[in-house]
Every structure is written in C-alpha cells, then in structure tokens.
Amino acid sequence: MSGAPVDPAPTDPAPGDRSAQLGPALQAVRERVTAAAAEAGRDPGELTLVAVTKFFPAADVRALARLGVGDVGESRDQEAAAKAAEVAQDGVALRWHFIGQVQSNKARSVAAYCDVVHSVDRAKVATALDRGAGEHGRRVGCFVQVDLAPALGEGADPARGGVAPDGIAAVAEAVAGGEHLDLLGLMAVAPREEDPARAFAVLADLAARLRRDHPGAVHLSAGMSGDLEQAVAAGATHLRVGGAILGPRPAPR
C-alpha cells in the first residue's frame, strides 16, 4: 500500500491561495521524510504521508490535493463524514484515513467513507467496521492500535487508546476474520515523555511478532510531526503529520 510520492515539487499556487502557505510546509515535510528514508537506507516511495486535516476546513483539503497529497487523516466521524462528502462533490479523489478512537456505534458511518482505519483496538470495533463496510459495498484497511505504555513500563494512557500488547493477537484475528476488512499491521503513538526511538523499536518488535501469524500485515503506522524521523528508522510505512504541514490547529467546533 503506497501513497503519493513524498518528494515531488509542489505546484505553483495562485496568489492568495491557501496553497501558498501549505506548499512550503508540505515540501519541508517531504524533504524530512526523504532524508529520513535515506538515513535508514529505505526507499521513500515505500512511505505514505498522511496529512492530518482534523479541525481544518475542506478548503484546506482541496488545497492539499492540488499540491499532490493523496492521503488525508481525520479523527472525528461527524466532521470527517461531512468533509469527505463535500470534497467528493468537487470531484477530488483522496484516500481517507480515520486516526481517532472509533466508537462501535460510529463504525458503520466511518466505514462508509474511510479507506483506512488506524485505530482498531477492540474486536467489537472490528466487527462493527466489517458490518458497515459490507453494507456499503466497500473494503476497509485496518491497523490494530497498540498502547505501548505497558511494554515500556508506564501506565496506560486511555486518552490515546490502543490495546495492550498482550491483546494484539485477539484484535488482529477479529480484523483478519472480517469479510470486508484487510489487516494492514500495527499503529501506535509514542507515549508522552518517552524517547520515540525506544517506543518505535518496541512497536517494530511487536509488528514482527504479528507477521508470524499474519504475513500480509506488513505496514506500520507511526510517527507524527515531532518524531517522524525515528518512526522511519523503525520501519514505519505510514506517517501521520498535521501541525508541520497545516500549522497550529484551530479550536474544535
């Protein structure tokens, strides 16, 4: 699974267009990703840059699409569903990624527009997503979200979600057993106050264990604006970057 190349030059924006602000920031992130891939001996074409657009307007999504972005991430169903519908009406084709915690009662809606869900942390959520994807005649790629804190000797962080490492297998089986779901791999956020390199090394080890039972689960969703380099070094394939591209996040509405 791959996204738009991370290092093409952005198109020349019209004066006053939001693209004039987003373009240089996006190019800087693409250059960081390319440099990180080179440092790790990896092909940057293997990496998918997901621009996290939560709380930003659909106009910003359209501007990013004009700059060559093919993957965008959202975390709230109501906002994401409306934004995806608005952008689709304009004929803009994107891959939508859901990166927030999924409530089982929202899974049917999420499955209607999202191509990839990064935050499956319960079998119940996997079952609901599978049902919703079937109803809408779609396939949905799924990452199992892991809470790395227990493996790092820290307390769990409920605000961020994720299944404990010893629960990965059960959730992965629920996803793999879904008729309309594809198990992509693992996702995690580096715990606060933790060295991202150490956290992502633990994640990479957990991912290797998962692949023993699910050889096709070769993807790894890790890394954000502040730690994408460490994530690339650890084998991440999907980078979820918001602030470094779009700037300070507006207050949620």
What are the residues whose beta carbons fall under 8 Å from the beta carbon of 194, sequence distance 6 or more? 148, 152, 154
β-strand pairing of 238-241 with 95-98: unpaired
Amino acid (1-letter code) at residue 169? A
Q: What is the pLDDT of residue 250?
A: 74
Q: What is the pLDDT of residue 253?
A: 60
pLDDT tens digit sequence for 56-109: 999 999 999 999 999 999 999 999 999 999 999 989 899 999 999 999 999 999
Surface-to-core class of residue 157, CB atoms within 10 Å of its CB (0-12 exposed, 13-18 middle, 19+ buried): middle
Q: Kindly state the percentage of the chain with pLDDT values over 90.
A: 81
Average pLDDT over the chain, rounded to an integer: 91
Surface-to-core class of residue 218, CB atoms within 10 Å of its CB (0-12 exposed, 13-18 middle, 19+ buried): middle
Domain ranges, ordered by start, for the chain: 19-242
Q: Does position 224 have pLDDT exceeding 80, yes or no? A: yes
H or E element that contains 35: helix 19-40
Q: What is the pLDDT of residue 77?
A: 97
Q: What is the pLDDT of residue 25?
A: 97
**CATH (residue range 19-242):** 3.20.20.10
Q: What is the pLDDT of residue 153?
A: 80
Q: 137 in the Ramachandran plot: left (φ > 0), alpha (ψ -120 to 50) or beta?
A: left
Residue 9's pLDDT band (cuts 50, 70, 90): very low
Distance CA 99, CA 171 (A): 17
Distance CA 95, CA 70 (A): 6
Q: What is the pLDDT of residue 158?
A: 64
User: What residue has token string 């004929």?
Assistant: 91
Residue 252's pLDDT band (cuts 50, 70, 90): low
Query: Across residues 142-159, what is the average pLDDT?
Result: 84
In contact, 223 and 29? CB cutoff 8 Å: no
